C-alpha cells in the first residue's frame, strides 16, 4: 500500500491548512495537558496569560511594522502569529511540565517549527517573520510560565535503623 500527496504549483492551501491546524492544535494540546488528571489551575492561568500576551504583542508589531506578505494579500506579515502561538504553547508545556513531557518534547518543538515552515511554504510569511514569531512565542511563555512544583523527591531518602543483632538500611525514591 502506498500513500502519496501532491501539491500543485501555486496551490498553497495545503500548507495554509497545516499552519492553521498546528496554530490551533498545539494550544489545545497545552490546555489538555494542563487540564488533565488533577487540573492545574495555575498552569491554565499562565497558559492563557501567555497566549493573550503573544497575540496582543504580535498584533501590535504587525501594526507598528507593516510588512507586505509574500503573497501580497496584506501588510501583516511580521511577525508570524501562527508560529508565535505555537511556540507559546510548546514552551509553556516544556517549562511547566518539564520531566512529565520529556519524551514528547522533540516532537512538540518540531510541530511548532513546522508551523513556521508551513507558513513560509504557503507564502504567508518570510523566514524572518517566522523566526521572530517563534522567538516572541518562546519568550512570552518563558515570561508567563513557572515550573510546576515537583511531586518527585529531588534526592533519594536514606534511613538507617538499629535492629536486634544489626542494622536495617532503607532507600526510598518516588518515581
Cβ-based neighbour number of residue 36 at 10 Å: 9
> Does residue 51 fall inside a structural domain?
yes
- Please classify residue 101 by burial: count the beta carbons closer than 10 Å to its beta carbon, then call 0-12 exposed, 13-18 middle and 19+ buried: middle
Question: CB–CB of 137/81 below 8 Å?
Answer: no
> Does residue 73 fall inside a structural domain?
yes
Length of the chain counted residue by residue: 175
Cβ-based neighbour number of residue 131 at 10 Å: 15
> Does residue 7 fall inside a structural domain?
no
Count structural domains, the chain. Answer: 1
Between 174 and 32, where is the model more confident?
Answer: 32
pLDDT digits (tens, 9 = 90+) for 82-122: 999 999 999 999 999 988 888 999 999 999 999 999 999 99
> Does residue 8 fall inside a structural domain?
no
> Does residue 91 fall inside a structural domain?
yes
> Does residue 43 fall inside a structural domain?
yes
pLDDT at position 8 is: 47
pLDDT at position 28 is: 95
| Mean predicted lDDT score pLDDT of the chain | 85
Q: What are phi and psi of 171, to 5 degrees?
A: -130, 135
pLDDT at position 60 is: 97
- Residues 6+ away with beta carbon under 8 Å from 123: 12, 69, 70, 71
> Does residue 109 fall inside a structural domain?
yes
pLDDT digits (tens, 9 = 90+) for 31-71: 999 988 668 899 999 999 999 999 999 999 999 999 999 99
Residue numbers of the domain that contains 97? 13-172
- Residues 6+ away with beta carbon under 8 Å from 17: none
DSSP 78-122: SS-HHHHHHHHHHHHHHHHSTGGGTTTHHHHHHHHHHHHHHHHHT
Look at residue 7 and tell me whether its pLDDT is greater than 70.
Answer: no
pLDDT at position 160 is: 62
pLDDT at position 14 is: 87
- Residue 147: which of 109, 107, 99, 110 has the closest Cα? 99
pLDDT band at 148 (very low <50, low <70, confident <90, very high): confident
> Does residue 1 fall inside a structural domain?
no
Look at residue 6 and tell me whether its pLDDT is greater than 60.
Answer: no
SS3 49: helix
Amino acid at each position: 500500500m502506498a500513500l502519496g500527496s501532491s501539491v500543485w504549483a501555486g496551490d498553497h492551501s495545503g500548507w495554509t491548512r497545516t499552519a492553521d491546524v498546528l496554530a490551533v492544535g498545539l494550544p489545545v494540546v497545552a490546555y489538555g495537558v494542563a487540564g488533565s488528571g488533577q487540573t492545574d489551575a495555575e498552569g491554565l492561568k499562565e497558559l492563557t496569560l501567555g497566549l493573550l500576551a503573544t497575540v496582543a504583542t504580535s498584533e501590535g508589531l504587525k501594526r507598528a511594522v507593516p510588512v507586505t506578505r509574500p503573497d501580497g494579500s496584506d501588510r501583516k506579515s511580521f511577525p508570524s502569529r501562527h508560529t508565535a502561538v505555537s511556540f507559546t504553547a510548546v514552551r509553556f508545556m516544556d517549562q511547566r511540565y518539564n520531566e512529565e513531557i520529556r519524551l514528547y518534547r522533540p516532537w512538540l518543538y518540531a510541530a511548532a517549527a513546522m508551523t513556521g515552515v508551513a507558513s513560509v511554504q504557503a507564502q504567508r510569511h518570510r523566514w524572518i517573520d517566522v523566526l521572530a514569531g517563534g522567538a516572541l512565542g518562546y519568550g512570552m511563555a518563558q515570561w508567563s510560565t513557572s515550573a510546576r512544583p515537583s511531586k518527585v523527591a529531588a534526592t533519594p531518602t536514606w534511613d538507617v535503623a538499629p535492629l536486634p543483632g544489626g542494622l536495617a538500611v532503607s532507600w526510598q525514591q518516588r518515581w
